[in-house]
Amino acid sequence: MKNTDSDAFQKLPARLRPASQLLIASSLAVLFLACSPTDPVERAKAVIAEAQGQFSAQTIESLRELLAESPDDPEMNYLYGKALSLWGEAGLAQWALRKAALDPEWRTPAASQIAKNAARTGNYETTIEFVSKVLEEDPDNVDLLILRANAGAASRIASSEALADTDRVLKIAPDNARAMEPRILALLNLERYEEAGEEIKRLGQMIEANPGTDDSIRGWHCTTTALYASDSGETELALELFNECLLEYPGNPNLINNAVSFFDERGEYARSLKIIQDGLEKLPESLDYRRQIAVRLVATGDTEAAEQVLIGGTEVASPAYAPAAWQFLAKHYQEQGQHQQAIQAFAQAIEITQAAEAPTAQLMLDYADSLILGGDLDQAMAVTDQMAVKAHAEIIRARIAQERGDHQQALEHFDRAFQLWPDNPWARYSAALSAEQVGDFDRAADEYRYAIRIDGQVTDAQTRLARMLIAEGDMTTALNFLAMQHAAAASSLDGLILLAELYARGSQFGPMNQTFLDINPYGHQAYGKATATVGQAIADEFGAEAAIDYLENYGANQIANQDPTRLPAARKLIELRFEIGHVELAQQDIEGFEAELIQDKAVAAALRGYGLEQIAAEQAMARTAYEEALKADPRNPDALAGLGRILSTESPRAALAFYDRAIEAEPDNVATQRAAARLLRQLGETEQARDRLQQALATWPYSGPLALDWAELESEATSPSTSIGPLIARAERFRSRLTPEEAERLDSLRVTPGP
């Protein structure tokens, strides 16, 4: 039986359910406000004073309601933004604080808070922008000069300015050791290595002259000295220094992070793990150390040990950190696909928090998200009614609508969320995905651009937008855009491979080779995939022979058991040889590969089957080869799809079964998806064909060929379909990916769209 809202509500942790205490508290809040001054600002001050620095969801909601009464008052915006910042919701605080900063009287406090929030989250450009506003009024403020210098050095784009700021600080306070960190980093960024070395020595002298220097500065100096030796090529000295630093400052977070990177580069992963474990021993409540240890244990396959490390955090954490410990554990469960355990862990975090105050907005958001991942959409919807932050509630409602396939409703919820929280990159990205599903590609592009402007590295928005531009035939804009977003593209393998492909299509082989250097750390498998992709791009733009030359230079015709990563390129090489009629050379390559791949019989037999399939008289032998491949590996997608192709005429039902198995083994192969839908059309199973095409187009929304296939299916219907127009329009928009024969079919369909 379907859950009612009441049923779902009963599943909430007990402390989330309305209780008499909460009703009494609400009544008291109403009474308190009724007896307060009528000016919203004064009432807001009273609410803040009553909270005594312990902000809760109820406090924030009261302030939000007061802000709604006086939305343009700069002091009211400042109070609300400051409260959100102290509550840990710096992102939500931005717009209120920015509005307050427009007023001359409130510019300094609002800009200072914005800068501090931005510094905490690593948004260095915003930090610099708003610290600069305050320094216009107070140019000798040492703390703010150091804050701006730290941001400038960390961003790497304002290193000269950071150096100037530290010059000013050291003129005002010559012994200020805190100014030395951004100063040294800025010099290193500017490649002024000798000067950086001198300043490291100078900081050491400052520390010696002042025995009371904080251990955090001492640890940073020790770490930087070791790093300087490493960067100078003195690896053994760096090793000695890191070992000394770890003995002297074993719990220093900066030292631990840099030492771990140093030993990781040396391939000493066990030593890195031991360093973090030693740090945890010194600081058992460190959730970050527990997270790092867990990640490394998961990477080695020891998920049970990882779980125990995180459970340990829930047992030793102080009451203030216990909810966060449970959240770390919950997110670990999510990453392992253990969604019910994740829900229970989030619920435990909420129970603990509720014992003292209302759960934080982020905790409620994470809990609702875990419910969605666990498939409990009704419960997630019930949680939205308990959320103090309305933007969060609307985002979760939008996510629920997406899961239910109602993308139009999802967009309506996103629109309401953006009125309250316009600068959420993940929500903008999700809205773009829904816009694609309803066919509104202009909005999707706008949402992707907005997400990138906010933070280009937290989603793959730049890659998806570039793919959309490519599908529209605008290669130049796609290349320029992705090249400008190189740092963001480099955060994902797909983005880098796409960038390499675009450079190849644009004959920019120098930058293409540079991009391959960025791909290299992802491993040989990724490198082989990228090479095959670039090979196809070269074939498209300059012909198959040019692509063959490129692939041969890479070594696609030299494959061995110990290097199976060349397989994607090898397959592409064989395909291109057959395309231009070099059958004998293709067969020679296949025979050579088969002789080398003696330990991977499935791959070898599938390659042989593909070669035989290209020869009309050898279909029976091709079938035998594919069947041989499946005996060695029943999930080999190449063999499964090959049997689907061979049997599609004489035994379409059997062919469909092979296609289904191929799709299960390799779901991201659009050619196989199209072939299966085509077979269903031939069998007269229109509804199943439509479902397949709908699912495929949801996965590849920029596919002109898929849109064409579906439009043709609708054109054959006995009654007119309302979907045919949008499908034709989509196929036309993404026409660049159609073959000449498909383009003719589209033109014919546009003239006569249906019966």
pLDDT tens, position by position, 587-621: 888 888 777 776 788 888 998 999 999 998 889 99
The SS3 call for residue 123 is coil
Residue 320 has pLDDT above 80, yes or no: no
Q: How confident is the model at residue 352 (pLDDT cuts 50, 70, 90)?
A: confident
| DSSP one-letter code for 729 | H
Whole-number pLDDT of residue 358: 62
Give the pLDDT mean for 556-582: 73
Residue 112 has pLDDT above 90, yes or no: no
Other C-beta atoms closer than 10 Å to the C-beta of 281 total 12
Three-class SS of 243-309: HHHHHHCCCCHHHHHHHHHHHHHCCCHHHHHHHHHHHHHHCCCCHHHHHHHHHHHHHCCCHHHHHHH
Residue 27 has pLDDT above 60, yes or no: no
Whole-number pLDDT of residue 38: 66
Whole-number pLDDT of residue 704: 95
The SS3 call for residue 210 is coil
Other C-beta atoms closer than 10 Å to the C-beta of 491 total 16
Q: Is 752 exposed, middle or buried (0-12, 13-18, 19+ CB in 10 A)?
A: exposed
Asked if 306 and 277 count as a contact pair (C-beta separation under 8 A), the reply is: no
Give the pLDDT mean for 659-682: 94
The pLDDT mean for the chain works out to 86
- What's the predicted TM-score (pTM) here? 0.66
Give the pLDDT mean for 64-83: 88
Whole-number pLDDT of residue 4: 39
* Region of poorest pLDDT, from 52-61, 74-83, 237-246, 703-712: 52-61
Asked if 610 and 601 count as a contact pair (C-beta separation under 8 A), the reply is: no
Closest CA relative to residue 125, chosen from 152, 150, 162, 149: 152
Q: How many residues would you count in the chain? A: 755
Share of the chain above pLDDT 70, in %: 90
Residue 11 has pLDDT above 50, yes or no: no
Closest CA relative to residue 112, chosen from 148, 163, 63: 148
Residue 439 has pLDDT above 70, yes or no: yes
Whole-number CA gyration radius for the chain = 31
Domain range summary for the chain, segments of one domain joined by +: 687-755
Asked if 656 and 644 count as a contact pair (C-beta separation under 8 A), the reply is: yes
Whole-number pLDDT of residue 233: 87
pLDDT tens, position by position, 135-186: 888 899 998 999 999 888 887 778 899 999 999 999 999 989 999 989 998 9
Alpha-carbon gap, residue 127 to 394, rounded angstroms: 29
Whole-number pLDDT of residue 52: 72
* Region of poorest pLDDT, from 26-40, 160-174, 655-669: 26-40
Q: How confident is the model at residue 37 (pLDDT cuts 50, 70, 90)?
A: low
Closest CA relative to residue 529, chosen from 568, 562, 490: 568
pLDDT tens, position by position, 410-429: 999 999 999 988 889 999 99
The SS3 call for residue 64 is helix
* Region of poorest pLDDT, from 26-40, 247-261, 380-394: 26-40
More confident residue, 371 or 125: 371
Residue 623 has pLDDT above 80, yes or no: yes
Whole-number pLDDT of residue 415: 97
Give the pLDDT mean for 117-135: 84
More confident residue, 747 or 483: 747
Q: How confident is the model at residue 683 (pLDDT cuts 50, 70, 90)?
A: very high
Whole-number pLDDT of residue 18: 36
Q: Which residue has the tokens 């406000």?
A: 33
Whole-number pLDDT of residue 470: 94
Q: How confident is the model at residue 639 (pLDDT cuts 50, 70, 90)?
A: very high
More confident residue, 738 or 718: 738
Residue 75 has pLDDT above 80, yes or no: yes
Closest CA relative to residue 311, chosen from 336, 296, 294: 294
Whole-number pLDDT of residue 464: 94
